[in-house]
C-alpha cells in the first residue's frame, strides 16, 4: 500500500504503518469527510525514530493545514495506537505529490533529477541558481557561488558566505552542489552541517573509528559546510575541522563555508581557523529590500503554483516581519486559506491574515505554560512534578529539558527562569541548560528529541 518494503524498512517504521489505518479512522471522524479526503488521506507515515513519528505530506499547504487543525489529534491518535507517547514531525515530500492534490497547483515541468553524489547526498531540487533571486543584498554571494560551481577549486578558496538566518545561504550551497552534479554526477560532493560534523566526529571518537571518519570527509572534490558558527567553543571539533581544512586546501579541493556571522565575529573560534576562513572570498548576504523580498515571493509562488498578484506580494513583503522563510510561511497560510474558502488570494484576505498572524499580539512567543505542557506530555510527567523538587532521574531530566527549552524559546534571564521554576537559584538553571546542551552534543538520539520538542513549540521557527 505504501512504498515497497526494502531490507532497510525498520521494525519501528512497520509499527507506525501498521497502526496507520486506525489513526486515520480516529482522526477523520473528527472532521468533515471532504477535509479528511483532501488532507488526511495524503499523509504518508514515513518512519518512527526515537519517539518521533515522521509524517510526509505532499506539499506545504497540506502541512500547514494539518499543523493548524489536527496536529495534536494526530499525535494523540498515534500515541494511543502505539501505546506510547510520540511526537509528530511533518515533512514535505514533493515526490509524494499526486497530480490532483491542489486545485491551484499548475502542472509544472518535471524537476531535473540530480544524480546522487558518491557520498549519498542529493541536493534539494527546490534550491537552484535559476530560482535564486538576486539584488543588492546578495549579489556578491551569488556571484561567488556561481563561479565556484563553474570551476571548483580554481578561484576563491575557501568561499565564506555569511548572513542572518533564512536569507538563502543553504539555498546557495545546494545550488552549487546541484550544478556540479548535473555536469558530473560522479563528482565527490560532500555537504554537511557543522552540527552533523560535530555529531559524527563524537560518535566516531566513541567507537574508536576516527580514521574512517577522516577518510570519508577527506575523499571529496568539494566540501560544503553549513552553519559553521555551531562549532564555536567546541575545541575538539575545531581541531578536526582545521586538520580537514588544511588537507583539502593543500590538495586544491574546494571549500565553501556558511555562517550566520562574519569570521571575525566567530568568538570562541580558534584564531588559526578564523584567519583560514578569511583567506579566500568572504561574501555577505544582507537583509533584502522590499522589492527583492516581493520578487523572491513571486518566484516561490510561481514554483508552487500559487496565484499571487504583484500587489499582494508587495503587501506581504512590507508587512510580514522576519526572513524569507517567514515570508514563505505567510504565503502558504494565505494559499491554504484561499483554497479552503474557495476564494482567490485577494488583498482583503492578505490583510486579514497579516492581522491574525503577524500583528504584535499574534507574534508573542510560546509561553512558559506551553513549554511545560509539551515536556509534560512527552515525558508523561505531570507539570507539578516538573516544577517540583523531586530528584528522581526521569523527573529531573524532564525538568532540565524544560529549562533548556525555556531558555532557547524565551531567551529569558537565568534569574527569571529560576523564578519560573519555583524560585530556584539561577546557577542551577544554568547547569541544567549546560547539561542538556552537553547531552545533546554527545547523543544524537537525544539531540533529535530536543530538536523535535523545539520544533513543536516553534513550528515557524528556524
Ligand atoms: P539560510 O540557510 O540562510 O538560513 P535558506 O537557504 O534556508 O536560509 O533560505 C530560507 C528560504 O528562503 C528558502 O526556502 C530559500 O529558498 C528562500 N530564499 C532565501 N533567499 C532567497 C533568494 N534570494 N531567492 C530565492 N529564494 C530565497
Ligand atoms: Mg541554512
Question: Domain residues of the chain, as ranges?
Answer: 11-96, 129-284, 290-363, 368-457
Q: Is the shortest distance between the CB of 138 and ligand 1 below 6 Å?
A: yes
Q: Return all residues near 373 (Cβ < 8 A) that are at least 6 apart.
A: 383
Supply 436's cell numbers. Answer: 542538556
State pTM to two decimals. Answer: 0.63
Q: Which CATH code, of 3.50.30.20, 3.40.50.2000, 1.20.210.10, 1.10.8.60, is assigned to 290-363?
A: 1.10.8.60
Q: How far is the CA of 383 from the centre of ligand 2 (A)?
A: 34
Q: Is the shortest distance between the CB of 133 and ligand 1 below 6 Å?
A: yes
The number of the ligand nearest the C-alpha atom of 123 reads 1
Contacts made by residues 21-30, CB under 8 angstroms, sequence distance 24+? 22/77, 22/81, 23/74, 23/77, 23/78, 23/81, 26/73, 26/77, 26/80, 26/81, 27/70, 27/73, 27/74, 27/77, 30/70, 30/73
Q: Is the shortest distance between the CB of 165 and ligand 1 below 6 Å?
A: yes
Q: Is the shortest distance between the CB of 322 and ligand 1 below 6 Å?
A: no
Q: Which CATH code, of 3.40.50.300, 3.40.440.10, 3.40.50.720, 2.70.150.10, is assigned to 129-284?
A: 3.40.50.300
> Quick one: how far is CA 191 from the chain centroid?
15
* Cα three-residue angle 157-163-166, rounded to 5 degrees: 120
* pLDDT for residue 168 is more than 90: yes
Which pLDDT belongs to residue 179? 96
Q: What is the pLDDT of residues 78-91, one digit of tens each?
A: 989 898 888 888 88
* pLDDT for residue 399 is more than 50: yes
**Range 369-375 average pLDDT:** 92
Q: How far is the CA of 395 from the centre of ligand 2 (A)?
A: 34
Nearest partner of 303 among 108, 29, 147, judged by Cα: 108
Pocket test for ligand 1, best of 168, 195, 326 (most atoms within 8 A of CB): 168
Task: Spell out the CATH class of 368-457.
Answer: mainly alpha
**Range 363-379 average pLDDT:** 85
Q: What is the pLDDT of residues 155-165, one digit of tens each?
A: 899 999 999 88
**Range 327-350 average pLDDT:** 89
Which pLDDT belongs to residue 84? 87
Indicate which residue's Cα is closest to atom 1 of ligand 1: 166
Supply 368's cell numbers. Answer: 512558559
Specify the fold of 11-96: GMP Synthetase; Chain A, domain 3 (3.30.300)
* pLDDT for residue 273 is more than 70: yes
> Quick one: how far is CA 143 from the chain centroid?
25
Which pLDDT belongs to residue 6? 44
Report d(CA 19, CA 79) in Å as an integer.
10
Q: How far is the CA of 302 from the centre of ligand 1 (A)?
A: 15
Q: Is the shortest distance between the CB of 170 and ligand 1 below 6 Å?
A: yes
Query: What percent of the chain shows pLDDT beyond 90?
Result: 49
* pLDDT for residue 103 is more than 80: no
Amino acid at each position: 500500500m505504501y512504498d515497497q518494503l526494502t531490507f532497510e524498512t525498520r521494525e519501528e517504521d512497520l509499527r507506525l504503518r501498521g497502526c496507520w489505518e486506525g489513526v486515520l479512522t480516529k482522526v477523520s471522524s473528527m472532521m468533515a469527510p471532504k477535509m479528511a479526503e483532501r488532507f488526511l488521506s495524503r499523509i504518508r507515515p514515513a518512519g518512527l525514530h526515537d519517539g518521533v513519528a515522521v509524517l510526509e505530506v505532499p506539499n506545504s499547504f497540506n502541512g500547514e493545514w494539518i499543523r493548524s487543525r489536527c496536529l495534536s489529534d494526530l499525535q494523540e491518535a498515534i500515541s494511543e495506537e502505539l501505546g506510547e507517547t510520540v511526537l509528530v514531525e511533518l515533512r514535505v515530500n514533493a515526490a509524494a505529490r499526486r497530480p490532483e492534490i491542489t486545485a491551484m497547483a499548475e502542472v509544472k515541468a518535471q524537476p531535473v533529477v540530480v544524480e546522487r553524489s558518491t557520498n549519498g547526498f542529493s541536493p534539494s531540487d527546490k534550491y537552484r541558481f535559476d530560482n535564486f533571486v538576486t539584488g543588492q543584498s546578495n549579489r556578491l554571494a551569488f556571484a561567488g557561488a556561481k563561479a565556484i560551481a563553474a570551476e571548483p577549486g580554481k578561484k576563491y578558496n575557501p568561499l565564506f558566505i555569511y548572513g542572518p538566518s533564512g536569507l538563502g545561504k543553504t539555498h546557495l550551497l545546494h545550488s552549487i552542489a546541484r550544478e556540479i552534479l548535473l555536469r558530473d554526477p560522479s563528482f565527490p560532493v560532500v555537504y554537511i552541517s557543522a552540527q552533523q560534523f560535530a555529531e559524527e566526529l563524537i560518535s566516531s571518537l566513541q567507537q574508536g573509528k576516527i580514521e574512517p571518519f577522516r577518510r570519508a570527509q577527506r575523499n571529496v572534490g568539494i566540501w560544503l559546510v553549513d552553519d559553521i558558527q555551531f562549532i564555536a567553543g567546541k575545541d575538539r571539533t575545531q581541531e578536526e575541522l582545521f586538520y580537514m581544512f588544511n588537507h583539502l586546501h593543500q590538495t586544491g579541493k574546494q571549500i565553501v563555508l556558511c555562517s550566520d556571522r562574519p569570521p571575525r565575529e566567530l568568538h570562541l573560534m580558534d584564531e588559526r581557523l578564523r584567519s583560514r576562513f578569511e583567506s579566500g572570498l568572504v561574501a555577505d548576504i544582507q537583509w533584502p529590500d522590499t522589492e527583492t523580498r516581493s520578487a523572491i515571493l513571486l518566484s516561490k509562488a510561481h514554483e508552487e503554483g500559487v496565484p499571487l498578484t504583484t500587489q499582494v506580494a508587495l503587501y506581504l513583503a512590507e508587512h510580514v516581519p522576519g526572513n524569507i522563510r517567514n515570508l514563505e510561511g505567510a504565503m502558504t497560510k494565505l494559499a491554504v486559506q484561499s483554497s479552503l474558502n474557495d476564494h482567490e488570494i485577494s488583498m482583503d484576505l492578505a490583510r486579514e491574515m497579516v492581522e491574525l498572524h503577524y500583528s504584535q499580539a499574534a507574534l508573542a512567543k510560546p509561553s512558559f505554560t506551553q513549554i511545560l505542557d509539551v515536556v509534560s506530555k512527552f515525558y508523561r510527567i505531570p507539570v507539578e512534578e516538573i516544577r517540583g523538587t523531586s530528584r528522581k532521574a526521569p523527573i529531573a531530566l524532564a525538568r532540565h529539558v524544560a529549562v533548556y527549552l525555556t531558555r532557547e524559546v524565551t531567551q529569558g534571564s537565568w534569574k527569571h527562569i529560576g523564578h519560573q521554576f519555583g524560585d530556584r537559584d539561577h546557577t542551577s538553571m544554568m547547569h541544567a541548560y549546560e547539561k542538556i546542551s552537553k547531552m545533546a552534543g554527545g547523543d544524537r538520539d537525544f539531540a533529535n528529541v530536543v530538536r523535535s520538542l523545539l520544533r513543536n513549540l516553534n513550528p515557524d521557527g528556524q
